[in-house]
A and B are shown apart, each in its own frame.
Chain A
Amino acid sequence: MEWHAILAPEFADELKECGRIYMYRFKPDYTFFARPIDEYPALCRQAAAIMLMIQNNLDPRVAQHPEELITYGGNGAVFQNWAQYLLTMQYLSIMEEDQTLHLYSGHPMGLFPSSKDAPRVVVTNGMMIPNHSKPEDWEKYNALGVTQYGQMTAGSFMYIGPQGIVHGTTITIMNAFRKILPENETPAGKIFLTAGLGGMSGAQPKAGNIVGCITICAEVNAQAARKRHEQGWVDELIENIDELIERVKKAQANEETVSIAFIGNVVAVWERMDEEELFIHVGSDQTSLHIPWTGGYYPVGLSYDESNQMIREEPEAFKKSVEVSLRRHATAINRHTSKGTYFFDYGNAFLLEASRAGADVMAQNNIDFRYPSYVQDILGPMCFDYGFGPFRWVCTSGSSKDLDKTDQIALDVLTALHAQAPEEIAGQLADNITWIRDAKKNKLVVGSQARILYADAEGRATIAEAFNQAIKRGEIGSVVLGRDHHDVSGTDSPYRRPPIFTMGVVSPQTWLSTMSSEIALEVLPGFLSITVVE
Chain B
Amino acid sequence: MTQTTTTFREQIKQGLPAELPAKSLILKEQTGLPKGQICFQKKKKTGHSQCTSLFFGGVACYPGS
Q: Do A and B come from one complex?
A: yes
Interface of A with B (CB < 8 Å)?
3, 6-7, 10, 14-20, 24-28, 30-31, 35, 39-41, 51, 64-68, 70, 74, 83, 86-87, 89-90, 92-94, 104, 127-129, 132-134, 136-137, 139-144, 146-147, 221, 223, 293-295, 308, 311-312, 315
* Whole-angstrom CA separation of A27 from B25 in the bound complex: 11
Which of B40, B48, B54 is close to A143, meaning CB atoms less than 8 Å apart?
B40
Whether B56 sits at the interface, judged by CB under 8 Å, is: yes
Is B50's CB under 8 angstroms from A137's CB? yes
CB 8 Å contact bits of B22-40 with A (1 = contact, 0 = none): 1110110111111111111
Q: Given A26-B21, A311-B37, verify A93-B53 contact (CB < 8 Å).
A: no
User: Could you list 21 A-B pairs, sorted by A, with CB under 8 Å?
Assistant: A3-B20, A20-B36, A25-B23, A30-B4, A30-B11, A31-B4, A35-B8, A39-B8, A41-B12, A65-B33, A67-B33, A83-B16, A87-B16, A90-B13, A127-B56, A137-B50, A139-B36, A141-B53, A144-B40, A221-B32, A293-B37
* Whole-angstrom CA separation of A65 from B29 in the bound complex: 11
Residue of A nearest to B12 (CB): A89
Is B50's CB under 8 angstroms from A133's CB? yes
Interface size class of B (residues with CB under 8 A): 35 or more
Is A19's CB under 8 angstroms from B9's CB? no
Whether B5 sits at the interface, judged by CB under 8 Å, is: yes
CB distance from A113 to the nearest CB of B (A): 20
CB distance from A472 to the nearest CB of B (A): 27
Residue of B nearest to A127 (CB): B56
Which of A128, A132, A223 is close to B48, meaning CB atoms less than 8 Å apart?
A132
Is B31's CB under 8 angstroms from A90's CB? no
Whether B7 sits at the interface, judged by CB under 8 Å, is: yes
* Whole-angstrom CA separation of A143 from B27 in the bound complex: 17
* Whole-angstrom CA separation of A7 from B17 in the bound complex: 14
* Whole-angstrom CA separation of A41 from B15 in the bound complex: 12
Taking CB atoms, residues of chain B closer than 8 Å to A295 are 33-34
CB distance from B10 to the nearest CB of A (A): 8
Whether B58 sits at the interface, judged by CB under 8 Å, is: yes
Is B49's CB under 8 angstroms from A134's CB? yes
* Whole-angstrom CA separation of A90 from B18 in the bound complex: 13
CB distance from A188 to the nearest CB of B (A): 37
Is A24's CB under 8 angstroms from B26's CB? yes
Whether B57 sits at the interface, judged by CB under 8 Å, is: yes
Residue of B nearest to A221 (CB): B32
Residue of B nearest to A295 (CB): B34
Is A35's CB under 8 angstroms from B5's CB? yes
* Whole-angstrom CA separation of A70 from B36 in the bound complex: 13
Interface of B with A (CB < 8 Å)?
1, 4-5, 7-17, 20-24, 26-27, 29-40, 48-50, 52-54, 56-59
User: What is the number of contacts between chain A and chain B, taking CB atoms within 8 Å?
Assistant: 142
Taking CB atoms, residues of chain B closer than 8 Å to A16 are 38
Scoring A10, A66, A86 by chain B CB atoms within 10 A of each residue's CB, the highest score goes to: A86
Taking CB atoms, residues of chain A closer than 8 Å to B34 are 74, 294-295, 308, 311
Residue of B nearest to A138 (CB): B53
Which of A31, A140, A311 is close to B35, meaning CB atoms less than 8 Å apart?
A311
Is A41's CB under 8 angstroms from B13's CB? yes
Which of B12, B16, B21, B40 is close to A40, meaning CB atoms less than 8 Å apart?
B12
* Whole-angstrom CA separation of A19 from B38 in the bound complex: 6
Is A10's CB under 8 angstroms from B23's CB? yes
Is B24's CB under 8 angstroms from A93's CB? no
Scoring A10, A140, A308 by chain B CB atoms within 10 A of each residue's CB, the highest score goes to: A140
* Whole-angstrom CA separation of A40 from B7 in the bound complex: 11
* Whole-angstrom CA separation of A94 from B49 in the bound complex: 40
CB distance from A289 to the nearest CB of B (A): 14
Taking CB atoms, residues of chain B closer than 8 Å to A294 are 34-37
* Whole-angstrom CA separation of A388 from B27 in the bound complex: 44
* Whole-angstrom CA separation of A35 from B5 in the bound complex: 9
Q: Given A24-B27, A30-B7, A39-B9, verify A139-B57 contact (CB < 8 Å).
A: no
Taking CB atoms, residues of chain A closer than 8 Å to B8 are 30, 35, 39
Taking CB atoms, residues of chain A closer than 8 Å to B16 are 26, 83, 86-87, 90
Is A68's CB under 8 angstroms from B39's CB? no
Q: Given A27-B26, A87-B15, A132-B52, verify A67-B20 contact (CB < 8 Å).
A: no
- 20 extra A-B contacts, CB within 8 A, seeds A67-B29, A311-B37: A14-B27, A16-B38, A18-B27, A18-B30, A24-B26, A30-B7, A66-B31, A68-B31, A87-B16, A90-B12, A93-B13, A132-B53, A133-B49, A133-B52, A136-B39, A137-B49, A140-B40, A143-B40, A223-B32, A293-B37
* Whole-angstrom CA separation of A427 from B61 in the bound complex: 52
CB distance from B8 to the nearest CB of A (A): 5
Is A142's CB under 8 angstroms from B37's CB? no
Is A39's CB under 8 angstroms from B5's CB? yes
Is A19's CB under 8 angstroms from B36's CB? yes
Q: Given A67-B26, A137-B49, verify A104-B58 contact (CB < 8 Å).
A: yes
Q: Given A6-B20, A129-B53, verify A139-B48 contact (CB < 8 Å).
A: no
CB distance from A155 to the nearest CB of B (A): 15
